Copies of this chain bind each other. A is one copy, B any other.
Amino acid sequence: MAEEREFTSTEITRAYRTSGIREECGVFGIYSPAHENITEKIYYGLTALQHRGQESAGIAVSDTEGLMYNVSFHKDMGLVSEVFHKEDLLKLKGNIGVGHVRYSTAGGSTPENAQPLVINYSKGTLSLVHNGNITNADELRNELSSHGAVFHATSDSEVIASMIAFHRTRSAAVEEAIKKTAERLKGGYALIVMSPRKIIGVRDPYGLKPLCLGKISENGNDTYILASESCALTSIDAQFIRDIEPGEIITITKDGLKTDHLPAVDKKAHCIFEYIYFARLDSVIDNISVYGSRIKAGQALAENFPVKADLVAGVPDSGLAAAEGYAMKSGIPFRMIFKKNSYVGRTFIKPTQEMRESAVHIKLNVISETVKGKDIVLIDDSIVRGTTMKQIIKQLKKNGAGKIHVRISAPPFLHPCYYGTDVPTSTELIAHNATVDDICSFIGADSLGYLDVSDFQKMVGDLPICKACFDGNYPVM
């Protein structure tokens, strides 16, 4: 799926909405009981989660030293490194905080919808970060509106925050209000709420969206961290403790951790998309290594679609891990055959029609010497419209490559996702309009094989998964 990962920010990602696989969000929360400033840690944690959303970024912190607390926040459209300058970080002082990177799946792409969402109500201030999609958000919004609620923007998050405030006004504790709210939410979500002196994390009962817990122990104090992926913990040298359980509500206060649960559902359903595309290679989610699962996808491809070849290569960066897996299983050597231009970034001007043919060369060049006279197994994680793969193969052949056997480390998408993952719609996907043979012929490959849905379980062992975008079986509506 090389074509979806090249560009990195707002302007570009907007184009994806009509053309590619859309991404989701990353959330981060942290509590330092020793009153250390945690803003820098949020910044680096969000940088590690940047692959989960490049549209907007934000941080809210609460300074709870003393009798009063002080909540401050900063958020805007753009990458973490674009939104935050040194002076912004210096202004955000606090020992509790939440952070967010966003690629919108519901709600428009506007600054008003950037997170954290910070609201004031009769009981104080709530700061909320959210990854996922609430399928009954409109129903809840109408319900709250009928009680007189007023909304400034169009995000699910504002609905959740309003409902928490509604219950909190009538409840004893914010944890209770969050529980009452979460009981009403349908869909997949990972939420972190900062209620100035507490951090509360919630994961949907199916476990559709990931959330994990980490810890930094210094000078006898434990700073706890919640994050969408373990790579955010590693990046700040925190220790991974465990995944938050599906349906778990975890509360972090000065007294440590407290846990509660939403009513159980009969079957968990972790999102397979995290493993095959979305999560970072070095993360471990629900005890399954993302890297390991992709290695296994490559191995399954080697079993299902064996072929005689001189080398195995991956399209950078999305096909590399599965290529290693294919190589391990098949015994064919794994080689680097492309040079990717890392300077083709967000502000890069796209080629005019006249030079469109060259577009793929600008981003990706074949290392001629490696491919000359070689039969190649070429791995990527998807074929969207097929035009990029066609150009890559044309370039390989022009550089003297022999046969090109394409292997795709995921099955074609067939169904929309209702839980916050924007999979391409039918009409955008070549797989919907053509047989595997037709696609093979269109892209100019000598053979083509897709991973089968039945191989998913090999990738993740006995982890219960949601693979609705491939098979249409939705765990919750």
- By a beta-carbon cutoff of 8 Å, the part of chain A in contact with chain B is 8, 40-41, 43-44, 47-48, 50-51, 79-82, 84-86, 89, 118-122, 142, 145-154, 161-162, 165-166, 169-170, 231, 234-237, 280-282, 284, 289, 291-292, 317, 320-321, 324, 328, 333-336, 339, 341-349, 351-352, 354-355, 357-358, 361-362, 365-370
Chain B neighbourhood of A146, CB < 8 A: 122, 169
Rounded to whole Å, the gap between the CB of A254 and the closest CB of chain B is 22
- C-alpha gap A343/B8 in the complex (Å): 8
Specify which of B84, B142, B152 is in contact with A349 (CB 8 Å cutoff).
B84
> Is B120 a contact of A151 with CB atoms below 8 Å?
yes
The 8 closest A-B pairs by CB, nearest first: A122-B145, A282-B339, A50-B343, A120-B151, A289-B369, A282-B365, A148-B166, A281-B339
- C-alpha gap A37/B197 in the complex (Å): 49
Specify which of B165, B235, B361, B368 is in contact with A237 (CB 8 Å cutoff).
B361
Q: Which residue of B lies closest to A145 (CB)?
A: B122
Chain B neighbourhood of A362, CB < 8 A: 44, 47-48, 235
> Is B349 a contact of A336 with CB atoms below 8 Å?
no
Specify which of B121, B320, B336 is in contact with A145 (CB 8 Å cutoff).
B121
Give 24 pairs: A residue, B residue, CB < 8 Å, sorted on A: A8-B343, A40-B354, A44-B358, A48-B341, A48-B365, A50-B343, A79-B343, A84-B349, A85-B347, A86-B349, A147-B148, A150-B161, A231-B365, A235-B358, A235-B361, A236-B358, A280-B339, A282-B339, A282-B365, A289-B369, A291-B367, A291-B369, A324-B336, A328-B333
> Is B145 a contact of A169 with CB atoms below 8 Å?
yes
> Is B81 a contact of A348 with CB atoms below 8 Å?
yes
Chain B neighbourhood of A369, CB < 8 A: 284, 289, 291-292
Q: Which residue of B lies closest to A320 (CB)?
A: B336
Specify which of B51, B86, B150 is in contact with A343 (CB 8 Å cutoff).
B51
Chain B neighbourhood of A162, CB < 8 A: 150
Chain B neighbourhood of A368, CB < 8 A: 282, 284, 289
- C-alpha gap A284/B334 in the complex (Å): 22
The oligomer's copy count stands at: 4
- C-alpha gap A151/B81 in the complex (Å): 29
> Is A149 a contact of B150 with CB atoms below 8 Å?
yes
> Is B47 a contact of A119 with CB atoms below 8 Å?
no
Chain B neighbourhood of A231, CB < 8 A: 339, 365
> Is A152 a contact of B119 with CB atoms below 8 Å?
yes
- C-alpha gap A152/B358 in the complex (Å): 36
> Is B237 a contact of A358 with CB atoms below 8 Å?
yes
Chain B neighbourhood of A236, CB < 8 A: 355, 358, 361
Chain B neighbourhood of A284, CB < 8 A: 368-369
- C-alpha gap A85/B249 in the complex (Å): 47
Rounded to whole Å, the gap between the CB of A316 and the closest CB of chain B is 10
> Is A119 a contact of B235 with CB atoms below 8 Å?
no
Q: Which residue of B lies closest to A170 (CB)?
A: B148
Chain B neighbourhood of A149, CB < 8 A: 121-122, 148-150
Query: Which of A89, A166, A280, A339 has the largest number of chain B CB atoms within 10 A?
Result: A339
> Is B235 a contact of A41 with CB atoms below 8 Å?
no
Given known A-B contacts A50-B341, A355-B236, A148 and B169 have beta carbons under 8 A apart: yes
- C-alpha gap A355/B223 in the complex (Å): 15
Chain B neighbourhood of A355, CB < 8 A: 40-41, 44, 236
Chain B neighbourhood of A153, CB < 8 A: 120
Q: Which residue of B lies closest to A288 (CB)?
A: B369
Chain B neighbourhood of A51, CB < 8 A: 343
Given A121-B150, A235-B361, 6 other A-B residues pairs in contact with their CB atoms under 8 A: A81-B345, A81-B347, A85-B349, A120-B153, A122-B145, A231-B339
Rounded to whole Å, the gap between the CB of A66 and the closest CB of chain B is 21
Chain B neighbourhood of A79, CB < 8 A: 343
